[in-house]
Amino acid sequence: MWRILGGLFLGWSLGANHSANIFGTAVASGLVRFSQALWLTAAYVVLGAVMEGAKCMSTYGKLALVHADTAFILTLSTAVTMTMLTRAGVPASTSQALVGAILGWSIVEASPDFSQLTRIVLCWTLTPISASLSSAFLHRALAKLVVDRITSFSARNRFYSVAVLLTGCYAAYGLGANSVANVTGIYVTSGLLNTNVGAIIGGLSIALGVLTYSGRVMMTVGKGIVPLDPFSAMVVVFAEAVTLHLFTQIGVPVSSSQAVVGAIVGIGVAKGLQTINIRVVLKIGLGWILTPVCAGALTLAVHALLMLTGVASLNSLFAKALAFVSQLNLW
């Protein structure tokens, strides 16, 4: 069961990177306190993982045959990649990193099923486009149907505060339901965990990342791309939540980062292209390109290490390492 440590590390790094996608815009616009955002996100992520996480669990197992040792290596490589991108303040895609790791391993160990890859990549492309269109539509529709009819300034602020909390909880639920497959899905398909245990362990590890290490990316999402007023912040979270929920229903784990960035860009288009910080968008886009490449390269490096040491399994590798340490007489 020690192999689960790779999934726990990945869940922590996912939570640290992706919590910004839930309340980042609301915190930056002053609608929600930072601590309040963290605890609400953590609670609803666990709820979403437990209630609907099973729907996306089998997707990665269709890309390639994954054993327990392989699951540990893939999640570890993905977690290291996500942690580096979190340190750089880039909202990255865990699903892209994990697919990059799986393909890197499959190239040298087995033949990946590219028919499934085509479906996944198509969904990656549609995620930011769908979120962008949704946010642009919701921004205009809600402004006309709701906000413009509330004439009192204080009443309008109360509406923003309540609406952003509700949509944020919905988005956190969607994050848990869609993304827990990234954390423990390959452990389920490898037979090491059953679906319910995988959903609980994955949800709790994501919540831990949310609570302990999510501040840096939250500011990039909340302030870096487009200056958001309270109404726009609410629309972004709503559009992201709807996008994640739709993809969860068809069983494809997609990127909440791509959804929220697409939604923010959609707001920028609706308000005027000059409001978009192109430099930040390009930095994020470069991070998305490098994410699967880095994860795949790390996986290949681990595979090369195993080949050089001539071990048949990770248990053998750790046994050799422990034997080597014991010969050093450090105690």
8 A C-beta contact, residue 295 and residue 104 = yes
Q: Quote the distance between the C-alpha of residue 190 and its chain's center.
A: 21
What pLDDT, on the 0 to 100 scale, is given for residue 52? 92
Give which of 287, 252, 90 is closest to 177, Cα–Cα: 252
What is the pTM for the complete model shown?
0.81
Q: Count CB-CB contacts under 10 A for residue 218.
A: 26
Q: Tens digits of per-residue pLDDT, 234-272?
A: 888 889 889 988 888 888 778 887 888 888 888 888 777
End-to-end Cα, the chain, rounded Å = 28
Give CA–CA dist 143/129, Å, rounded.
Answer: 21
Q: Tens digits of per-residue pLDDT, 262-301?
A: 888 888 887 777 777 788 788 788 888 888 888 989 988 8
Give CA–CA dist 61/58, Å, rounded.
Answer: 5
SS3 91: coil
What pLDDT, on the 0 to 100 scale, is given for residue 120? 77
